[in-house]
């Protein structure tokens, strides 16, 4: 089996990368950064997001796993203490996988020349580049829903619902739901402007189309990176047809991860 390792780049993560690479190669696995079937991220959730985006073009052929070298991560959920066991499990391939839904974002320009398609593992956040209010026409499944004015809009995946979405008051959604969640960022609500004010959970095929009502430059953050767009005609968001696959070598159910990350006192 072909594998690759993406390290956060600090000394601790690099040492773990070297150890894993050596042992797995000794087990006759093939280190291949071009066409890995398993990608191991070593670092934090940020490293995992980076690994996901590095290999997003071959999601059907690649499974992911994360080892954390800082505090417990949501994706990076293996501890350095589990390494030995993990290496042996990986060497015993084939492994089981579990799939989570992704968010698809298509940004179209007014001239019609440009169309960018992105996948997000956590979320997409749409804000203006100059910090002024975003004014967006929100269309759901082809029907006008509301005109949003405020700091911005966040669209998250179920596994990203525990990230920025949670900080915005969104619900935590189990990744078995093929859905995306729209949360508002400081919407303006008064006698003139009105938004729903609650997070919305959209099932598969319920496309959310955001159309700028003002000429602005937009900051579109996709997981850990941000793009600036001008001349935006529309931003289309929906559940992607692709999924992310996690290699599973032991049980760590989603709700246990939520508990351990946010509720348990760390004992």
| Residue of closest CB approach to ligand NAD | 46
By CB under 6 A, is residue 160 in contact with ligand NAD?
Answer: yes
3-state secondary structure of 7: strand
Catalytic status, residue 11: no
> Which of 162, 181, 216, 236 is close enough to bind ligand NAD by CB under 6 A?
162
> Which of 1, 10, 46, 234 is close enough to bind ligand NAD by CB under 6 A?
46
The minimum distance between CB 170 and ligand NAD, in angstroms, equals 11
In the region spanning residues 63 to 92, those forming contacts with ligand NAD, defined by CB under 6 A, are 73-74
Kindly write down the DSSP assignment for every residue of 210-244, as one continuous string. EEESS---EEEEETTEEEEE-SEEEEEEEEEEEEE
Instruction: Please say whether the beta carbons of 52 and 121 come within 8 A.
Output: yes
Which x/- pattern, by CB under 6 A, does the window 107-126 give for ligand NAD? ---------------xx---
Looking at 10, 30, 45, 60, which residue is catalytic?
45
Comparing CB distances to ligand NAD, the nearer of 137 and 242 is 242
By CB under 6 A, is residue 45 in contact with ligand NAD?
Answer: yes
Binding segment for ligand NAD among 137-145, 156-164, 193-201, 207-215 (CB under 6 A)?
Answer: 156-164
CB atoms within 10 A of CB 256: 12
> Which of 77, 104, 151, 223 is close enough to bind ligand NAD by CB under 6 A?
223
The minimum distance between CB 240 and ligand NAD, in angstroms, equals 16
Comparing CB distances to ligand NAD, the nearer of 53 and 211 is 53
Instruction: Please say whether the beta carbons of 158 and 174 come within 8 A.
Output: yes
CA distance 128 to 230: 10
Give one word for 43, left, alpha or beta, with left for phi > 0 and alpha for psi -120 to 50: left
CA distance 160 to 220: 16
Q: Which residues contact 260 (CB under 8 A, 6 or more apart)?
A: 72
Binding segment for ligand NAD among 30-38, 41-49, 52-60, 93-101 (CB under 6 A)?
Answer: 41-49
CA distance 93 to 79: 20
CB atoms within 10 A of CB 75: 26
Binding stretches for ligand NAD (CB under 6 A): 44-46, 49, 73-74, 122-123, 159-160, 162-164, 167, 223-224
As annotated, the active-site residues are: 45
């Amino acid at each position: 089996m072909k594998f690759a390792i993406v390290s956060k780049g600090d000394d601790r993560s690099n040492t773990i990368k070297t150890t894993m690479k050596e042992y797995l190669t000794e087990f006759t696995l093939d280190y291949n950064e071009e066409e890995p079937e398993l990608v191991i991220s070593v670092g934090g959730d940020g490293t995992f997001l980076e690994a996901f985006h590095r290999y997003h073009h071959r999601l059907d052929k690649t499974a992911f796993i994360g080892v954390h070298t800082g505090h417990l991560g949501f994706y990076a959920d293996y501890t350095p203490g589990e390494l030995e066991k993990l290496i042996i499990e990986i060497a015993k391939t084939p492994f089981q996988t579990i799939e989570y839904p992704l968010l698809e974002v298509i940004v179209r320009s007014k001239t019609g020349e440009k169309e960018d398609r992105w996948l997000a593992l956590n979320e997409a956040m749409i804000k203006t580049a100059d910090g002024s209010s975003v004014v967006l026409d929100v269309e759901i499944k082809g029907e006008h829903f509301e005109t949003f004015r405020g700091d911005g809009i966040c669209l998250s995946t179920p596994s990203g619902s525990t990230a920025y979405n949670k900080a915005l008051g969104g619900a935590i959604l189990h990744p078995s739901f093929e859905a995306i969640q729209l949360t508002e960022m400081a919407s303006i609500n008064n006698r003139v402007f009105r938004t729903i004010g609650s997070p919305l959970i959209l099932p598969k095929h319920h496309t959310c189309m955001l159309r700028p009502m003002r000429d602005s430059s937009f900051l579109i953050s996709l997981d850990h990176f941000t793009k600036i767009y001008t001349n935006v005609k529309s931003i289309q968001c929906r559940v992607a047809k692709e999924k992310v696959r996690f290699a599973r070598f032991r049980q760590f159910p989603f709700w246990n991860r939520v508990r351990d990350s946010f509720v348990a006192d760390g004992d």
